[in-house]
Amino acid sequence: MKNKYKFLVLNIVFIFLFFLVIELSIWGYDNYSLKKQGFFNEKVKYIKFHSGIKTYKNEIEKFAKYDEHWGRRPVGLEYNKPPIVIFGCSYAHGFNLNPKQIFSYKLSEQLKQPVYNQAFIGWGIQHMLFQTKIPELYERIKEPEYVIYVYISDHLRRLYLMSFGPWNILNEEFNIRYKEKDGKLIEIMNANPFLNQIKRLYFVNTLQNKLATKYAYGEKNYSAVCNFALKHFIESKNEMQKHWKNTKYIVFFYNDKYIATQFKADLEKAGFIIMTTDELTNENLDTEKYMQPSLHPTEAAWDLLTPKFIEKLKTL
pLDDT digits 0-9 by tens, 265-297:
999 999 999 999 999 999 999 999 999 988 899
User: What's the pLDDT score for residue 121?
Assistant: 76
User: What's the pLDDT score for residue 55?
Assistant: 38
Query: Can you list the alpha helix ranges (DSSP code H) found in the chain?
Result: 2-36, 42-47, 56-63, 90-93, 103-111, 125-132, 135-140, 154-163, 193-199, 202-216, 222-241, 261-269, 277-280, 299-313
Output Rg (C-alpha) for the chain, integer angstroms: 21
DSSP 3-state assignment of 223? helix
Of 156 and 28, more confident: 156
Based on the fold, state whether residues 145 and 117 are members of the same structural domain. yes
pLDDT digits 0-9 by tens, 61-75:
444 444 444 434 444
Distance, in Å, from the CA atom of 106 to the CA atom of 109, rounded to the nearest integer, reads 5
| Poorest-pLDDT segment among 91-95, 205-209, 271-275 | 205-209
Based on the fold, state whether residues 19 and 153 are members of the same structural domain. no
Based on the fold, state whether residues 186 and 302 are members of the same structural domain. yes
Look at residues 184, 187, 109, 119 and name the one whose alpha carbon lies nearest to residue 147: 119
Determine the longest span between alpha carbons in the chain, in angstroms: 82
What is the 3-class SS of 39-52, one letter each residue?
CCCHHHHHHCCCCC
User: What's the pLDDT score for residue 256?
Assistant: 83
Based on the fold, state whether residues 135 and 222 are members of the same structural domain. yes
Q: For residue 25, how many other CB atoms are within 10 A of its CB?
A: 11
User: What's the pLDDT score for residue 316?
Assistant: 82
Based on the fold, state whether residues 195 and 306 are members of the same structural domain. yes
Cβ distance 144 to 83 under 8 Å?
A: yes
Determine what percent of the chain is predicted with pLDDT higher than 90: 29
Based on the fold, state whether residues 3 and 94 are members of the same structural domain. no
8-state DSSP, 152: -
Residue 190 has pLDDT above 70, yes or no: no
Q: State which residues form the domain around 16.
A: 1-36
Mean pLDDT of the chain: 76
Based on the fold, state whether residues 5 and 143 are members of the same structural domain. no
For the ranges 121-135, 167-181, 191-205, 226-240, the maximum mean pLDDT occurs at: 226-240
DSSP 3-state assignment of 248? strand
Based on the fold, state whether residues 247 and 110 are members of the same structural domain. yes
Based on the fold, state whether residues 252 and 275 are members of the same structural domain. yes
User: What's the pLDDT score for residue 139?
Assistant: 82
In the chain, how many domains are there?
A: 2
User: What's the pLDDT score for residue 42?
Assistant: 41
* CATH code for the domain in which residue 179 is found: 3.40.50.1110
Based on the fold, state whether residues 103 and 195 are members of the same structural domain. yes
Query: Taking residues 225-249, what's their average pLDDT?
Result: 93
Residue 172 has pLDDT above 50, yes or no: no
Residue 94 has pLDDT above 80, yes or no: yes
User: What's the pLDDT score for residue 31?
Assistant: 56
User: What's the pLDDT score for residue 64?
Assistant: 46
Based on the fold, state whether residues 125 and 169 are members of the same structural domain. yes
Residue 220 has pLDDT above 80, yes or no: no
pLDDT digits 0-9 by tens, 5-58:
777 878 888 877 877 777 667 666 655 654 554 444 443 333 333 333 333 444
Distance, in Å, from the CA atom of 142 to the CA atom of 160, rounded to the nearest integer, reads 33
Query: Taking residues 95-113, what's their average pLDDT?
Result: 86
Based on the fold, state whether residues 119 and 209 are members of the same structural domain. yes
pLDDT digits 0-9 by tens, 119-152:
877 788 988 998 898 887 888 888 999 999 999 9
